[in-house]
Amino acid sequence: MEPLFLEGSPKTPHVRFDPATGLLELKGRSIPENSIDFYKPLIDWIERYGRQACPKTALHVQLEYFNTSSSKCILDLFKRLESVRAAGNEVTVLWHYEADDEDMLEAGEDYSGIINIPFKMIQIAEVGGE
Amino acid sequence: MADLLDRVHDLYDELEKHRVMLSFKGGLSPELITVLLGLIERKLDGIEPDARARKRVFNVVVECLQNLFHHNGHLRASTEGVERTDEPHGVVMIARTDKGYSVLTGNFMRGSDVSQLKSHLDRINSLDAEALREWYRAKLSDGQYSQVGGGGLGMIDIARRSGGKLEYAFVPYDKDNAFFSLNVNVNT
């Protein structure tokens, strides 16, 4: 299975999904006008990955901004991972948020309340701004 | 000529007086929104020392501009009343206030959609922060998508980040259309 690598842009996150290690990364900002266009290939990838998943999968989410158009797509992505976990694999979401960004921490807590995957909240130093 | 030149000075005074950071009227495209967001982000970096406030304002601007883009009557005012536009069309103004920032947007919409939007906004304004969060969570997980993915979360998110009530007005324009204005105060 091919890895999925996408460069970040001013409105879309950097993506690095590696099927060999089970390490998946979503990093940057996710504020496109049409999020379904952007997320569909990611969600399809995870569905294919689920058929031959690594015993351990870790998804790192480190977003500075995401819009409401992205929020449902991100939930969908988590749901596909939920199926990977339900098939007997270990799956973790590592939700990174900047120290001052309580809103982003809350958003992670909201997802973790909806999705049946263990979430780890990871506080990081501020990366935005300057 | 002198008249026109005076107006430039009036315009400058007006923008200065209202502490306007950005104002734009016209057709909107994803590319233009990217440019406007880049501009506002730069300005915020320069004037707002609190990172959390900066993020809240930026988030509200993103949602407001994207609302303007997606929920738009594709109309502009003309001498004949209104005329169709290819691109979504509207106005946006972002200004500083004594308490923080104000994000104003305006666009034409179908008159028949007014009552639905009005009741949505009224419901949002009737809820406190905790109730808004619960509603957001419920809507996030309801499995329903709009065509572009948001599924009705935009205004709720705007209200949550604003921390205040949404100020709005609908002005009937002609028999089919109304002009919708929204002011979001983000207090910092």
The answer on pLDDT for A66 being more than 50 is: yes
Q: In chain A, where does DSSP find H-type helix?
A: 35-50, 68-86, 102-114
Chain A residues near residue B136 by CB distance under 8 angstroms:
110
Q: Which residue has the higher pLDDT, B142 or B66?
A: B66
**Rounded Cα gap, residues B156 and B133, in angstroms:** 8
pLDDT > 70 in chain A, percent: 97
Task: Assign domain B2-187 to its CATH architecture.
Answer: 2-Layer Sandwich (3.30)
**What's the average model confidence in pLDDT over B146-166?**
84
Q: What is the token pair recorded at B136?
A: 């957001």
Tell whether A126 is within 8 A of chain B (Cβ). yes
Looking at this protein, which amino acid is placed at residue B176?
Answer: D
The answer on pLDDT for B39 being more than 80 is: yes
Q: Domain boundaries in chain B?
A: 2-187
What is the nearest CA distance from A126 to chain B, expressed in angstroms?
8
pLDDT of residue B151: 64
**Rounded Cα gap, residues A23 and A39, in angstroms:** 18
**What's the average model confidence in pLDDT over A94-108?**
95
- DSSP state string for B7-75: HHHHHHHHHHHTTEEEEEEEE--HHHHHHHHHHHHHHHHHH---HHHHHHHHHHHHHHHHHHHHS---E
**Rounded Cα gap, residues A44 and A40, in angstroms:** 6
ipTM: 0.92
Number of alpha carbons in the 13 Å side-chain half-sphere of residue A127: 12
Q: What is the token pair recorded at B103?
A: 């994000």
pLDDT of residue B3: 87
Quote the pTM value. 0.94
The answer on pLDDT for A89 being more than 50 is: yes
Q: Report how many domains make up chain A.
A: 1
Looking at this protein, which amino acid is placed at residue B43?
Answer: K
Q: Which residue has the higher pLDDT, A40 or B81?
A: A40
What tens digit of pLDDT does each residue of B102-154 get? 999 999 999 999 999 999 999 999 999 999 999 999 999 887 766 555 568 99
Whether A109 is covered by a domain: the verdict is yes
Tell whether B59 is within 8 A of chain A (Cβ). yes
Residue A73 belongs to domain with CATH number:
3.30.750
Q: Which residue has the higher pLDDT, A95 or B73?
A: A95
Q: What angle do CA B53, B57, B63 make, to 5 degrees?
A: 145
> Hey, are the CB atoms on A110 and B137 less than 8 Å from each other?
yes
Query: Does residue B60 contact residue B1 with C-beta atoms inside 8 Å?
Result: no
Whether A75 is covered by a domain: the verdict is yes
Query: Does residue B175 contact residue B77 with C-beta atoms inside 8 Å?
Result: no
B interface test, pick of A68, A82, A103 with most B CB neighbours within 10 Å: A68
Range of the domain at A56: 4-124
pLDDT of residue A129: 43
Q: Measured between CB atoms, which of A75, A106, A128 is closest to B141?
A: A75
